[in-house]
Amino acid sequence: MRTNFNYPLVKLFDSPRARCGFVAAMLTAITLTTQAESIDIASSNDRVTLVELYTSEGCSSCPPADRWLSTLKDDAGLWRDFVPVAFHVDYWDYIGWPDRFASATYTARQRQNGARNKMRTVYTPGFFVDGSEWRGWFRNPTLRSHDTGAAGLLTLNIESSMITARFTPPKDTKDGLILNIALLGSDLVTAVKAGENRDRQLRHDFAVLGYRHVVMHQEDGGYTVDTELPKNQIEGTDGARLAIAAWVSRKSDDVPVQAAGGWL
């Protein structure tokens, strides 16, 4: 475990030009069709657990945690019972390998979670389950929610580059709420050429490729917001299997209230 004390049809297309034009047209048509699809995702009324892994390609202790997170792709509870996200932090970049998935924003989020949990330091690999530090992964990685019961219904409608979210809490609340949205990439591989994982191929699933959060507005007994999806900020991920993760948190403490997710 690494700690961070610094916080710091060939005949029809005989010519190369014709073949290239045909391929480009087909790719454009596929892209437009994909963008025009409307995707609906919904949580149950019971709490859906948000599992956050903070990891780094520069940390030799992280690959086992990354591999464990990857096993969740085949778990029957994926999206229904839990939503996994892998935030890559940047505080190990200095030791020789700049993690292409890393962001100072994700490091800041880990530190905020650590402060709320009264942790003396943040570390990788580091897990938070429903906003609470989870050290149990190192002893017995059996996933359990820290809070069960009715949490409210979170629905997402995704069309083109926009998302419409609505959250209906189980009872009236005056809390201001935030919608967190993460674009996730799976089936990703990095050939690491320096640092602690030099000459290793690291595989990643549920890696955050883009993240944003927006204020939700009270409306008809619930909360709603229309906003843009996060953009993919990472190069070399065109072949990734994409998913979306979203969770509602309070303005006051950032603890996840309800989560939803699904493949795109």
pLDDT tens for each residue of 159-201: 999 999 999 999 877 789 999 999 999 999 999 999 999 999 9
Ranges of the chain with pLDDT below 70: 1-36, 145-147
pLDDT at site 2 = 64
DSSP-derived secondary structure for 214-263: EE-EEETTEEEEEEEPPP---TT-TTPEEEEEEEEEETTT--EEEEEEEE
pLDDT at site 140 = 79
> What is the model's pTM?
0.86
pLDDT at site 164 = 98
Is residue 22 helix, strand or coil?
Answer: helix
Helix ranges restricted to H, 15-138: 16-36, 63-71, 104-116
Peptide bond into 125 cis (omega under 30): yes
Is residue 12 helix, strand or coil?
Answer: helix
Structure tokens at 65: 């945690």
Cα maximum dimension of the chain: 68
For residues 12 and 95, give the distance between their C-alpha atoms in angstroms, rounded to a whole number: 54
pLDDT at site 3 = 60
Q: Is the separation of the CB atoms in 52 and 65 below 8 Å? A: no
Least Cα distance to 260 among 184, 173, 162 occurs for 184
pLDDT at site 1 = 67
**How far is CA 45 from each of CA 48, 62, 99, 150, 259, rounded to the nearest angstrom?**
8, 33, 37, 6, 10
CATH topology of domain 38-263: Immunoglobulin-like (2.60.40)
pLDDT at site 90 = 98
